[in-house]
Chain A
Amino acid sequence: MKSISSLFFKDIVVEWRNKEAVSSMFMFGVLTLVIFSYAFDPSGTDRSLLTPGILWISFTFAGIIGLNRSLAMEIDNECIQGLLLAPLSRGELYLGKVASNFAFMMIAELLMMPPFVVLNNLTFSFQIIEIIGVAVLGTLGFVSVGTILSMISAHTRMKEVILAVLQIPLTIPVILTSVAATGQILANETEGISYALMMLAGFSIVYLTASYLLFEYVVED
């Protein structure tokens, strides 16, 4: 546990000094929100049907940007060798990376919420807090798959493209469920939403376990 937290704080310190991950994810996410606001008629009556999808498309794209950067940072300066030599198991390395990726993505998503509310003419109400709750579960699922996939794609040529190609098919269940849950919250029909939340939590647990066990095959050198 101590090794995971020190790995986590290492990433936080690096991020605090250069602020690259959160700022790039935030900018990219906001730009996606803006493009969608222009692409779909803002005054249209069906707008409320689109908003959950717009939010999660922005989260997905921003998340892929962040995941790409999180390992590029380690690989560019051969820092990964140092991490592999450090006295911690491969699984702990994975969990530490999940923790920092989750934190950065969550911060970027929180920063993206006000522009989302404003651009889609929603109100700052308790609903937004509920959506953030869904985002916590959805992001954990997204990051639990994404961290191991970003490590896999780091070995390939054209890493950035390959990560997106691997990440999107595997996170379709997370995105579909999160969009459905967000839509339910926005429509004030939250009955039965617990199935969606349980499914998101189950996805995270299963993928955290599977990746924890499989990570040693991915980083062996």
Chain B
Amino acid sequence: MGKRILGISSVVLMIVALYLIFVYAGVDAAQGEPFRIFYFHVPVLLLSYLSAILLGSACIMFLYNAEAKWDRAGAVAAELGLVFGGTGLISGMMWAKPIWGKYWVWWDVRLNLQLILVLTFAAYLMLRAYLPNQEKRATLSCVFGLLALVNVPFNWLAIYFVPTLQHPKPVVSPGGGGTDPDMAIAFTCSLIAWCLTYSYLFSTRLAVAQVEQEVEYLEQVVRAS
């Protein structure tokens, strides 16, 4: 029941957010229409960072107490991280083409960090897909998840060795910044809509993952008998 409310409210709020983004909020003075991509781009990327944090904590928890639910949570976080991170990259490129004149630039720190993050999620999921044994899969993918977590600070350092220019400043800064109130409302609404969508997808996918695991177990029992 709770999940259904979550699903319906995320759909409703997403429609409201679309209205606010495309009709209510004004055109950005400096960037014009392409700026509207940011209302989606930023929440989606923030949620892909959240996926990375969730994946890391799920891996730590699994190695700590070896409960299958943490393994499932990690897998779901990685899947959503790949989807949201990939969406973020594509929406970023759509913005970059009119503003920077190129889809891809190699000097931007965040863009390239995001690419590495998406590649790592993909590698984690590839590893899981090719491990037939359920227990082995859980342990080994958690070890890989932890090794990937350790990698994050090094990616930061490494990319700073390449000369960089400035990424656009975060739209919502702690001080509030000089954002237009209409834009702030549209952005907040979009952020909440995406968070609800994320939690709906996460809980649904987690339930599916549990069923999948049970089916896998029953298959093994049938085959053994």
Contact = CB atoms under 8 A, between A and B. Distances in A.
Interface of A: 145, 148-149, 152-153, 155-158, 162, 165-166, 168-170, 172-174, 176-177, 180, 195-196, 199, 202-203, 206-207, 210-211, 214, 217-218, 220
B123 A218 contact: no
Contacts, number: 91
Contact of A173 (B119, B127, B133, B158): B158
B67 to A, nearest CB: 15
Interface in B136-173: 136, 139-140, 142-144, 146-148, 150-151, 154-155, 157-159, 161-162
Contacts of B154: 173, 199, 202-203, 206
A211 B21 CA distance: 47
B131 interface: yes
Contacts of B123: 165-166, 169-170
Interface of A is mostly: helix
The 8 closest A-B pairs by CB, nearest first: A173-B158, A173-B154, A156-B130, A169-B119, A176-B158, A180-B161, A169-B120, A152-B140
Interface of B is mostly: helix
Interface in B89-132: 116, 119-120, 122-123, 126-127, 130-132
A182 to B, nearest CB: 12
Contacts of A148: 143, 147
Contacts of B63: 217
Contacts of A162: 126-127, 130
A135 B122 CA distance: 28
A207 B133 CA distance: 26
A195 B154 CA distance: 12
Contacts of A155: 131, 133, 136, 140
Contacts of A211: 147
Contacts of A158: 130
A100 to B, nearest CB: 21
8 contacts: A148-B143, A155-B136, A169-B148, A170-B148, A172-B119, A173-B157, A195-B161, A202-B154
B48 to A, nearest CB: 15
B161 A210 contact: no
